[in-house]
Chains A and B, each alone.
Chain A
Amino acid sequence: KAGVTQTPRYLIKTRGQQVTLSCSPISGHRSVSWYQQTPGQGLQFLFEYFSETQRNKGNFPGRFSGRQFSNSRSEMNVSTLELGDSALYLCASSPTLWAGGGETQYFGPGTRLLVL
């Protein structure tokens, strides 16, 4: 069974631009969570989507948004990029709603975003 896939793997943008990242969960998984990883802040939870609905979100500004499609694939969008948005963005899937521990999450390899 294929793992979690994320595209693109690497991305370079400039300040003020917007970016869309894509995540395809493991086949049959219906929950997708997004995380940001930086050397300074470590891994931080962004949001979780289940059944096309955002179920929870972390402490990030409204510039960070996401959505989930009926096939469980998810996209994350960051508008008006700032230098501090440079990070590794990880998504993780689980069979059902993760909700803080209901299922094991499986992480993808991440998308490395560099904002210049």
Chain B
Amino acid sequence: GESVGLHLPTLSVQEGDNSIINCAYSNSASDYFIWYKQESGKGPQFIIDIRSNMDKRQGQRVTVLLNKTVKHLSLQIAATQPGDSAVYFCAETNSGGSNYKLTFGKGTLLTVNP
């Protein structure tokens, strides 16, 4: 069935280091992927997205990589800061289907140590 999973439930990094959060997906029909950040007591916040016709997309300090061959998605955060501490979710959807729905991974807790 459809599922989105994360390899690491927790990730602890030092301030200034680069962080990499990984995500595996199983639905080969998914063509749109999103990374969200959720801080305690808040709703998810959009970070970056990527469509299946791309392998890489960059934002401000963040890069998303998509490997459709192995159905793998990653989020790279450069120069990680304490404010980056949060739970990060990947999500996938088949945007072209009539029954689209956003399927979320379980989340990875990123802790940035000063």
Do A43 and B104 touch across chains, with their CB atoms under 8 A apart?
yes
Q: Contact check: which of B44, B97, B101 meets A58 at CB < 8 Å? A: B101
Is B61's CB within 8 Å of the partner chain A?
Answer: no
With A100-B93, A100-B94, A101-B32 known as contacts, the answer to whether A56 contacts B99 (CB < 8 A) is yes
A104–chain B nearest beta-carbon distance, Å: 5
Contact of A42 among B34, B95, B98, B107 (CB under 8 A): B107
Please state if A108 and B43 are interface contacts (CB–CB under 8 Å). yes
Q: Whole-angstrom distance from the CB of A76 to the nearest CB of chain B?
A: 15
Smallest distance from the beta carbon of B44 to chain A beta carbons, Å? 5
Minimum C-beta distance from A21 to chain B (A) = 13
Report if A92-B105 is in contact (Cβ < 8 Å); known contacts: A100-B100, A101-B95.
no
Nearest to B89 among chain A residues (CB) is A43
Query: Given that A100-B32, A100-B96 are contacting pairs, would A56 and B43 also be in contact in the complex, using a CB cutoff of 8 Å?
Result: no
Does A49 make an interface contact (CB < 8 A)?
no
A99 at the interface (CB under 8 A from B): yes
In the complex, how many angstroms separate the beta carbon of A29 from the nearest chain B beta carbon? 14
Is A32 on the interface with B (CB-CB < 8 A)? no
Q: Which residues on B are within 8 Å of A, measured CB to CB? A: 32, 34, 41-46, 49, 51, 89, 91, 93-107
Mark A residues whose CB is within 8 Å of B.
4, 35, 42-45, 56, 58, 90, 92, 99-102, 104-110
Report, nearest first, the 5 A-B pairs whose CB atoms are least far apart.
Answer: A100-B100, A107-B43, A100-B95, A43-B104, A101-B95
